[in-house]
Amino acid sequence: MTSIEKPDEPTKLPRGRKRSSEAEKAVLDAAYDLLLREGLQATTVEAIAARAKVSKATIYKWWPNRASVIMSAFLREARYALPYPEELEAKSIFDRLNTMAMEFHGAIGSMICALIAEGQSDPEIAQAFRDGYVLARRQQGIELVKRAIAKKLIRKADPDVVLDLLYAPLYYRLLVGHQPLSEAFIRQHVALALNGILPAKEEVAPPRKRSRQP
C-alpha cells in the first residue's frame, strides 16, 4: 500500500551478532528465488542455506523460523510492487488498484495465494503473513484514510470498512478466480466504491480506458 509508505518491518527478532548485509541479501535472494521457481513447500531452511551459501546456524541467528525468512523475502518484493497512492482520489485509487491487479497476475499474486493456502496448515506461516503483510500494510492504509477524512476528501467512515471496500474485491477475485482481474473490472469497481465514500455532492464516472501505446 507509497511514497508515504515506510519499508515493511518483516518478522524479525534481534538474534546473535549484527547481520552482514551481503549475507542477508543472499539469504533473501535465495528464499525468493526458491519461492518463485520451486514453490513454498520446497523453500526450506536447508534449501535456502544451500542456495545462499551460508549455514543454517547463520539463518537461525537472524530469523527465528522458516516462516519469518519466507515473509522477509516476500515483503521485500511486495512493498515495491504494491505501493499506496499519495491521496485517496479517483485517479490515484484507480492507478493503485490497477497496479495491484497487474501484479496479482504475476509472481506476487501466486505467492499470496500460496502463503494463504499454506497458512491453513502452518500456523507460523499464517501468523507471519497476517502480521508482516496484512496488518503492517493495513495500518499504513488506515492512516491514509484518516488523513483523507480529515481533509474532507472522503466522507467520515470507519477506515477499516473503507479499506475493505476498496481492496477486498481484488483479493476475492485473486483467491476464488471466478472472474478476471481486468482493467474493465477495476474501472467499474473504482467508480462504484468512490461513489460510496466520496462526499455526497460528488459522483464519479468510471475512469476512461487507458490508451494503448503502439
Residue 59's alpha-carbon distances to 33, 63, 66, 123, 167, in angstroms, are 16, 6, 9, 20, 34
Q: Are 63 and 139 in contact (CB under 8 A)?
A: no
Decide: helix, strand or coil at residue 66. helix
Is 10 a domain residue?
A: no
Report the CATH number that the domain containing residue 106 is assigned in CATH.
1.10.357.10
Average pLDDT over residues 182-199: 90
Q: Are 156 and 29 in contact (CB under 8 A)?
A: no
Residue 135 is predicted with a pLDDT of: 92
Q: Are 171 and 158 in contact (CB under 8 A)?
A: no
Region at 54 (left for phi over 0; alpha for psi -120 to 50; beta for the rest): beta
93 and 167 within one domain: yes
136 and 193 within one domain: yes
> Rounded to an integer, what distance in angstroms lies between the CA atom of residue 59 and that of residue 11?
13
Percentage above 90 pLDDT, the chain = 61
| Domain, as residue range, for 59 | 21-73
* Number of domains the chain contains: 2
Report the CATH number that the domain containing residue 54 is assigned in CATH.
1.10.10.60
Q: Are 75 and 8 in contact (CB under 8 A)?
A: yes
Is 166 a domain residue?
A: yes
Q: Are 166 and 93 in contact (CB under 8 A)?
A: yes
174 and 141 within one domain: yes
pLDDT in tens, 96-144: 899 999 999 999 999 999 999 999 999 999 999 999 999 988 998 999 9
Nearest to 99 by CA among 167, 148, 191: 167
51 and 94 within one domain: no
106 and 52 within one domain: no
The answer on pLDDT for 212 being more than 80 is no
Q: What's the CA dihedral at 125, 126, 127, 128 to 10 degrees?
A: 40
Range with the poorest average pLDDT among 12-26, 60-74, 175-189: 12-26
Region at 34 (left for phi over 0; alpha for psi -120 to 50; beta for the rest): alpha
Residue 28 is predicted with a pLDDT of: 95
Is 16 a domain residue?
A: no
135 and 66 within one domain: no
pLDDT in tens, 39-95: 999 999 999 999 999 999 999 999 999 999 999 999 988 877 777 777 777 788 888
